[in-house]
Chains A and B, each alone.
Chain A
Amino acid sequence: MNASGQRARSARRAVFTLAVAAALYELMARSGLFPAALVPTVPTVASTLTAMLLDGTMLRHAAYTIYRLLSGLGLAIAVGLPLGILMGRFRAVEHFFLPLVSVLMPIPSLAWVPVFILWFGIGNTTTILIVFYAATFPMLLNAWTGVRSVNPLWLRAAGAMGARGQVLFWKVIIPGASPFIITGLRQAVLRAWIAVVGAEIIAASAWGLGWVIYDAKEFLNADVMLASLAVIGGIGFLFERLVLGSVERATILRWGMVQTAKS
């Protein structure tokens, strides 16, 4: 079987699996074993989702969440990436920051939420800072590892060909470290996404996808919860596929740093 036939079969099977899973869920929901408020049927969830999308509330929730996500992530990249590179290049910087990072990193970002609420109040500041805290460490550690793990042979070869300072940094070290940096970015996005929803759930604000899920729990609106989960999953999936995938294609795949996974 050729590759496209293989892919078509995988796609068919994927659709089939999802249909079966949905049917099983529907059966469970309609069986009456569980209260209808807790296990709403698929059409109920779909109509709730459509209604929320049409009257714009869902879009507003999503916009708030994405705003917080991107602000925190931007801060994390602005701090984590340069610091990681500096740590990889200079011993003194590494000696100063590595112990601090090793101590702060194992603390889950969401553990800071209660403290940050006291310090900064409920709202955007707290959520953005939690996202920043969550996303900085993967960025920083990967940049640091990446810079250190540039093949010494390349450095020596470039050095022998007369590359120094700036040129060495931009032409050898940064491309060489790029697979790690991209990995770091990926992990940072993932962490940030987890942190933003979590922070919204705990530090309830009034808007945001995390908040709407938690708020729906109070009123036993399982359909709202599932609809919001679908939106959260959709955004996460799109971000992963479109944004990170295209960044990867434009950089490390084009430079031949990693092979495309054979499937």
Chain B
Amino acid sequence: MRDDVPPAAAHAPASSGAPAELWASVPWRAVARTVFPFVVVGGLWEVVARSGIFPPRLFPPLEEVAETFVRLTAAGILPHHAFETVVRLMAGFGMGAVVGVALGIIMGRSRRAEDIFLPLVSIGAPIPGLAYAPLFLLWFGLGNVGAVILVGFVSAFPIILNSWTGVKAVKEIWIRAAQVMGANDRRLFRQVILPGALPYILTGLRLGLAQAWRILVAVEMLAAVPWGLGWMIFGAREFLNTDVMLAGIVVIGAIGLALEKLVFQRLEQFTVVRWGMITS
């Protein structure tokens, strides 16, 4: 059907010394292929922006967005917003991850815990995170506390559900085989159940982080925090600063991408892929 040779994998970091060799080792074809769609879309954007169909205030040309981006970055405003947002994300997600993984594993191992917590989780999970936001803001006040607690609360649900599924999905035969070979409960847990459930737990963490990120940006718009990317784009709306909003969205996208690529793919490479639980 199709040849599945990854285009970039052929370029191992060769023993290069001369810059010319380095230059030659860049996979130009792959780079061109990746850049091409952006050139097309960017060109279309530029044509629409310059055609005057929409007011330039609402649909700024790309160089204006880039200029705003550089200006805000140089002034330290954009990094400050981004920093506060990331700190909030880490605090909220950290809480959600610890509680979620622990609760999920307990639910997977004990029937009683499952019966007790599953109804609560199944009721809470289908409610969109942001729907809780007004309630949490009312209870915990506007500002950081409400936002961080909400992020933790919302990100805990996928983590709980995936950890629970993961523990339950560990093959019965592995457990029995380990028991036959004399593994006690502790070793059974650490060497069979945990590695067996890890792909699911990592999926849960990944989903939880993605959820936390989406909720955080939105809740920053509502929670009246003084700094934060969500607040920045929401505030810019009042002044019709579309360029500021788009610059903020670029940063939001970059952080989201970095979380996904740098944090989770790395983690997955080092654990489940290495153990042969899944192929990358």
Let me know if A170 is at the binding interface, CB within 8 A: no
Q: Which of B126, B138, B230, B233 contacts A220 (CB 8 A)?
A: B138
B277 close to chain A: CB less than 8 A: no
Inter-chain residue pair count (beta carbon < 8 A): 165
The answer to the question of A255 belonging to the interface, with a C-beta cut-off of 8 Å to chain B, is: no
A228 cross-chain contacts in B, Cβ below 8 A: 131
16 CB-based A-B contacts, threshold 8 Å = A38-B139, A96-B36, A96-B40, A106-B259, A107-B256, A108-B214, A108-B217, A111-B233, A118-B240, A119-B54, A194-B129, A198-B128, A201-B218, A210-B131, A228-B131, A233-B127
CB distance from B234 to the nearest CB of A (A): 5
On chain A, the residues within 8 Å of B260 by CB distance are 106
Complex Cα spacing A113 to B130, Å: 13
> Mask for B239-274, Cβ within 8 A of A = 1, else 0?
010100110110011111101100000000000000
Provide the bound-state CA to CA distance between A30 and B65, in Å. 54
Query: Chain A, 169-213, contact with B by CB distance < 8 Å: what is the 0/1 string?
Result: 000000000000000000000000111111001100000011001
Residue of B nearest to A263 (CB): B168
Contact of B137 among A197, A198, A217 (CB under 8 A): A217
- Residues of A69-122 at the interface with B, using a CB-CB cut-off of 8 Å, are 91, 95-97, 99-100, 102-115, 117-119
Which of B134, B135, B217, B257 has its CB near the most chain A CB atoms (within 10 A)?
Answer: B134
Q: In the bound complex, do residue B128 and residue A197 qualify as a contact, i.e. CB atoms below 8 Å apart?
A: yes
| B173, CB-defined interface residue at 8 Å | no
Given A100-B37, A220-B138, verify A152-B1 contact (CB < 8 Å): yes
Q: Which residues of B contact A155 (CB under 8 A)?
A: 1
- In the complex, the chain A residue whose C-beta lies closest to that of B55 is A118
Q: Is the CB of B134 within 8 A of A216?
A: yes
**Contact at A103–B116, with CB atoms within 8 Å?**
no
Q: B100-112 vs A: 1/0 string, CB under 8 Å? A: 0000000000001
B120 touches A21 (CB 8 A): yes
B145: interface (CB < 8 Å) = no
Q: A38-B138, A201-B131, A229-B131 are in contact. Are A114 and B245 (CB under 8 A)?
A: yes
**Is B37 touching A232 in the complex (CB atoms < 8 A)?**
no
CB distance from A100 to the nearest CB of B (A): 5
- State the CA gap A106–B217 with chains docked (Å): 12
Q: Is the CB of A91 within 8 A of B252?
A: no
Complex interface: chain A residues within 8 A of B131 (CB): 197-198, 201, 209-210, 213, 228-229, 232
Within 8 Å of chain A (Cβ to Cβ): is B41?
A: yes
| A214 close to chain B: CB less than 8 A | yes
Q: Which residue of A lies closest to B54 (CB)?
A: A119
Whether A236 touches B126, Cβ cut-off 8 Å, given contacts A201-B131, A217-B137, is yes
- The answer to whether B186 has its CB under 8 Å from any CB of chain A is no
Contact in complex: A233, B123 (CB < 8 Å): yes
- B237, A114: Cβ atoms closer than 8 Å: yes
Alpha-carbon distance between A29 and B37 when the two chains are bound, in angstroms: 57
Asked if B63 lies at the interface with its beta carbon under 8 angstroms from chain A, I say: no
Residues of A within 8 A of B36 (CB): 95-96
Instruction: Give the residues in chain B near A242, CB-CB below 8 Å.
Output: none
Chain A residues within 8 Å of B112, by CB: 13
